[in-house]
Chains A and B, each alone.
Chain A
Amino acid sequence: MPRPSMMIALAALALASVAQAQIGGIRRKVRDAGRQAVTGQQRRPPPQFDNTMLELNPEVVARLIKGLEARSTARGAGGQTAAQLRTRSSAASEEAANINNQHSDDRAHWVDANNTAESCVSDELSKANEQHMQAMQQRFMGMTGVNTPEKMKFMQDWTAAGQEAQQAAAANDTAGLRRAQEKLNKLMGVDARADTAKARATCHVTPMPAWMRRADSLAAISDTLLVRARVVEDSSRAVGSGAAGMTPAQFAMAAERAEGFVAIQKPGNVGSGYVFSSIEEQALSARLVDLKKYFG
C-alpha cells in the first residue's frame, strides 16, 4: 500500500532535482521553457508566472478563496445557489429512482399493457371513423332529389366549415383547425370525446399508476433544477472572478491549480504536474482547510 506522504516527498524531491526542468508546470505557456527543458541540462527556475498564471502567494490565495466563496454563494433568479439546486436535483432524481426501483417490473408491465390498450383504442377509433364516413356518405346520397330548407342549410354550413378547415390548415392554425373540425363533427352528429371514452372503456385502458406519475414528475423536476443549476454555475463564475479581483482566465487558472494542490494531498494521490513555488506551497498549505471546502 503506497504511503502518500512518502510518495509526495519522492515526487517533491524529484521535482526539485534536475528533472524539475522536464516536468515543469502544467499551466505554463511552455513552448520556450519546454525547449530549454528538454535536454535536461538546464535547471529551470520556479514556475514562470504571467498575466494568466498568478503566483499563489498568501495575498492571491486569500483573494482566490474570497472568489471561491463568492462563486459558491452566488444565487440565481430563484434565490438559490448552484450547489443548492444541484443538491435538490440529485434528491429529486434519487427519490424518482427509489420509486422506480420499488416497482422495477411494474413500469414495464404497465407500459406493455398500455401500448396494447392504446393500439386497441386506435383500432376502435378507426372503426368509429369508418362508421362516421359511411353515415356521412349515406347522408349526402340522401340529399339528391328535392331540396329542402334543412338540406340547403346543412350544405351551406358544411361548405363553410370545410372552407374554414382548409384555411386554418393552410395557415398552420391548429386551434382554428380544431374548431372547424368540431363544427364538422357537430354537423355530422359525431361526438369525438364520446368515441374516445367508449374506445378506452372497450379496451380497458388503465390510468398511469400514482407511483409512476410521482416518479416521472420527480424526474422532470430534477431535470428542471439541473438546468437552473447550470445557469447559476455559468453566471457565478463571473461573480467569483470579480470578487477575487482577477480576470476570468486568472481566476479559472488559480482555481484549477489550487484544486490540483488539494487533490495531491489526498491519500493515494501522488505526484503533481503543478510545480508550486515554495511560496505557493506555504500559502496553499496554510489555507488547505479553507480550500478543501470548495475542492474537497
Chain B
Amino acid sequence: MIGRSACCVAAVALFAAAAGPVGPDDATLALRLQSGAARVFWRESHAPVRWTAADASLAALVTWHPGQRGVEWSTLPIAGQGEAHALTLVLARIDPRSVSFDLVWGMERDRAAWTVDRAADAALALNAGMFVEQLPWGWVVLNGRERLAPGHGPLSSAVVGLADGRVVWVDGDDVSTWRGRADVRFAFQSYPTLLVGDGAVPVALRDGAINDTHRDARLALGLDRQGRLLVAMTRLDVPIPGADRIPLGLTVPEMAAVMGALGARQAMLLDGGISAQVTISDSTGQPRAWRGLRKVPLALVARAGP
C-alpha cells in the first residue's frame, strides 16, 4: 500500500511538472498531443464572438468511435489554465433520427435518486437540466405531461423532443410556442446558454456579466450543424483511480469555446460539478460510465432505434 501511494504521488508530481507554464494574462485552451506538445485552439484575447464552423485542427484530432446505432463517442485530452491544466473531454454525438430519447424522472420519495448505473443498457444517458436543491429548475415535460412549469432567465435554453422523433432546440426562456402542444413528448430547460442562433457566444459570456473565473467540472449539451446532439463533459486527467470525478475543469466561457470548436451552433450547460455523469455503450453494448458524486432528479436517456 505504501508503495502504491508513493507511486501515485510520484505520478501526480511528474504529471504536474509536465504541464508547463502559460502566458500570464491570456487564458487558452489547447489540445494535448501525444508528442507532449500542445496545440492552442482558443485564446481568451482572440475569442470568437461567433463560431461559424468547427475548429478544423480540433476536429481532425477527434477519433469518433462507433457506439450503439446513432451514437458516436470519443475522448480528447485538452489543457486549460491553472487547475484545468490537464483535462479529458468525454464527447458524444447523437443522431436523433437513429435513436429514441426518454426523459427520466429520478426522484424517489423526497430525494433525487438517478445515476448512470440505472441506464447501463442505454446507448447514452446523462443528467439533464440544472438542479437547485432536489428538484430540477425550469420546464419539465415527461411523456407528454408537463410536470414543472417553465423557468425564466435570459441565459436559459430548452430542448424539446417531439412525438415524431425530432429534437428542437429553443434559444432563450420563451417556450410558449411549444408549451401545451400535444406532440411534445419531453422537454427540459437548463442554463447558462453557451451558444445561440448559429454559433453566437452570448454577450453575458463575453463581457464578464457572469462569473468567468470559476472552474468546475462541466457538462454541456449542444446541437451541431448536421442536426446531431453534441455532448461534452470535462474530467480531470489525474492518474489516481476514481479521481477523475474531482470537480475541477473549465470556466463557462471556456466551455462555450469547446462547444463552438466542436461544431455546435447552439449549446447550454447541464448541471456539472459533482452531478455530472454520462454513460455510453460502445459498439459491443458494453457501457462506459463516467460517474458523478451526486444522485440527480432528471436524466436524458437515448436508446438505439427510432
Chain A interface (Cβ < 8 Å from any Cβ of B): 2, 6-7, 9-11, 13-14, 17-19, 21-24, 26-27, 29-31, 33-35, 37-41, 82-84, 86-87, 89-91, 93, 219, 223, 226-227, 229-230, 233-234, 236-237, 256, 259-260, 263-264, 268-274
Contact = CB atoms under 8 A, between A and B. Distances in A.
Contacts of A93: 105
B240 interface: yes
B133 A237 contact: yes
Given A86-B110, A87-B110, A269-B242, 14 more contacts: A2-B242, A6-B1, A11-B240, A14-B9, A19-B13, A21-B16, A24-B82, A37-B83, A39-B19, A39-B21, A40-B16, A86-B109, A236-B133, A237-B132
A256 B109 CA distance: 22
26 contacts: A2-B241, A6-B4, A7-B242, A10-B5, A13-B5, A17-B13, A23-B238, A23-B246, A31-B81, A34-B83, A35-B22, A38-B22, A39-B19, A39-B21, A40-B13, A40-B16, A40-B17, A87-B110, A90-B109, A93-B105, A263-B293, A270-B245, A271-B240, A273-B236, A273-B246, A274-B247
B12 A226 contact: no
Nearest to B244: A271
B169 to A, nearest CB: 24
Contacts of A233: 132-135
Nearest to B137: A230
Interface stretch (B95-103, B156-164, B208-216): B208-216
A13 B9 contact: yes
Q: Which of A22, A223, A234, A236 has the most CB of B within 10 A?
A: A22
Interface residues on B, range: 35 or more
A13 B111 CA distance: 33
Contacts of A256: 273-274
Contacts of A229: 135
Interface in B225-261: 236, 238, 240-248
Given A90-B110, A256-B273, A271-B243, A35 B81 contact: yes
A149 to B, nearest CB: 52
B291 to A, nearest CB: 8
B210 to A, nearest CB: 14
B15 interface: yes
A138 to B, nearest CB: 41
B146 to A, nearest CB: 7
Contacts of B248: 23-24, 26, 273
B85 interface: yes
Nearest to B15: A19
Nearest to A24: B83
Contact of A34 (B1, B145, B215, B216): B215
Contacts of B15: 19
Given A7-B242, A23-B238, A84-B110, A226 B146 contact: no
B82 A37 contact: yes
Contact of A30 (B1, B22, B134, B214): B214
A236 B293 CA distance: 24
B108 interface: yes
Contacts of B216: 26
Nearest to A240: B133
Contacts of A264: 293
Given A30-B215, A86-B109, A223-B147, A38 B85 contact: yes
A9 B5 contact: yes
Contact of B82 (A34, A87, A272): A34
Nearest to B132: A233
A227 B22 contact: no
Nearest to B105: A93
A270 B146 contact: no
A40 B245 contact: no
Contacts of A234: 132
Nearest to A9: B5
Q: Which of B132, B146, B246 has the most CB of A within 10 A?
A: B246
Nearest to B6: A13
B36 interface: no
B134 A86 contact: yes
A256 B131 CA distance: 12
Chain A to chain B: the 10 pairs with minimum beta-carbon distance, closest first: A34-B82, A271-B243, A40-B16, A270-B242, A19-B12, A273-B246, A83-B110, A263-B293, A86-B110, A87-B110
A226 B243 CA distance: 35
Q: Which of A6, A93, A226 has the most CB of B within 10 A?
A: A226
